[in-house]
Amino acid sequence: MKLHWQSRLVLLLVLPAAGADLVLEAGFWAARDLRIALWSFGICAFFAAVVLLMKAGTPTAAAAGFAIASSLIFSTVVLPFSPFHTAFTPACLVFALAALATRFGQRQKEVTGLAEAHSGRNAAQVCANLGAAMLFAEPLVRLKMANLPLNSLAVANNTMLLAPAIAALSEAAADTVSSEIGQSLSLSLAGRRGTHTRLLTTMRRVTPGTDGGISLFGTLAGITAAALIALAGTWALGGGLHFFYLSAAGGVFGLFFDSLLGATLEQKGWLNNDMVNFLSTMAAALFVLLLLVVMLPRWIN
């Protein structure tokens, strides 16, 4: 509880930006094309209702998800409009993968005390996982990125500037899926060779659920989840192969960065899980931005 202030800090970093973007973008699209505003609010309200009905999140988590999902739609609208050809599609898939992974081996995790609370995720957890993607999808942030010394491909194709946002979503899915699947399989296969959880920094065997612990099956599941989100984002936003590679690479980088933070700063009690998740999604996005600025020009040329 002594680090609860970090969860509040994540809320403070994400929710005001989501709220401001919601008001400004909703006003803009309501004046330009009311159908876009109504569709966006309607589909996000439906999404929030599903979260509540599934008990996958608290009411405040559903409200935070509504604001962030709406912001993602408004920030990535292209004409002719389709809500599924926005960042809402990969964000929705993140929720679906997380819900499925959380329920995988639920009974075993409940017995060992590793299961998620029955009330589902709270608002801080939602912001920690989806906030970085929303921030990097903001038009003003993308405008700032366009002023960086990017390669010609990124400048010519505005969609490429959304790769950091999709990488953040890829990391969010990869982290949840790898953790839930890894814990379940490690518990069910405990005692068998090659199935033990190991600490990333030392590779010594640790109990499933230990901060910074990784497993072969969990890691493979996380990489698969990152690739699925990157693929969904590429399809939804009309990106190409480079967009997919960057988004997936960012997600995988963030996955291992999350484990590194867990094995070091979180274990020492300096960071709580919400801050670790938020920093890891930010790291995934910044890693892709670094590739766009430094590495990709050499790759393209």
160 in a domain, yes or no? yes
Residue pair 48/63 in contact by the 8 Å Cβ criterion:
yes
163 in a domain, yes or no? yes
Residue with tokens 């967009």: 243
The pLDDT of residue 116: 57
191 in a domain, yes or no? yes
The pLDDT of residue 192: 47
pLDDT in tens, 38-92: 999 999 999 999 999 988 889 999 999 999 999 999 999 988 889 899 999 999 9
pLDDT band at 210 (very low <50, low <70, confident <90, very high): confident
pLDDT band at 208 (very low <50, low <70, confident <90, very high): confident
Average pLDDT of the residues of the chain = 87
pLDDT in tens, 170-190: 999 999 999 988 888 776 665
The pLDDT of residue 194: 43
Number of domains observed in the structure of the chain: 1
Question: 3-class SS at 57?
Answer: strand
pLDDT band at 108 (very low <50, low <70, confident <90, very high): low
Q: Is the pTM value of this prediction over 0.75?
A: yes
Question: Does residue 296 register a pLDDT over 80?
Answer: no
pLDDT band at 297 (very low <50, low <70, confident <90, very high): low
Give the percent of the chain with pLDDT over 90. 59
**154's tokens:** 């990124």
Query: Where is pLDDT greater, at 209 or 32?
Result: 32
pLDDT in tens, 239-257: 889 899 999 999 999 999 9
267 in a domain, yes or no? yes
The pLDDT of residue 110: 52
Residue pair 138/74 in contact by the 8 Å Cβ criterion:
no
Question: 3-class SS at 68?
Answer: helix
Write the secondary structure of 206-227 as one string of H (helix), E (strand) and C (coil).
ECCCCCCEECHHHHHHHHHHHH
The pLDDT of residue 258: 97
β-pair partners for 121:
57
170 in a domain, yes or no? yes
What's the chain's length in residues? 301
65 in a domain, yes or no? no
164 in a domain, yes or no? yes
Query: What is the span of the domain harbouring residue 252?
Result: 89-296
Query: Where is pLDDT greater, at 155 or 209?
Result: 209
pLDDT in tens, 186-205: 766 655 444 468 889 988 88
Q: Nearest-CA neighbor of 284 among 166, 196, 180, 193?
A: 166
Query: Where is pLDDT greater, at 154 or 10?
Result: 10
The pLDDT of residue 234: 97
42 in a domain, yes or no? no
| Residue at 291: amino acid letter | L
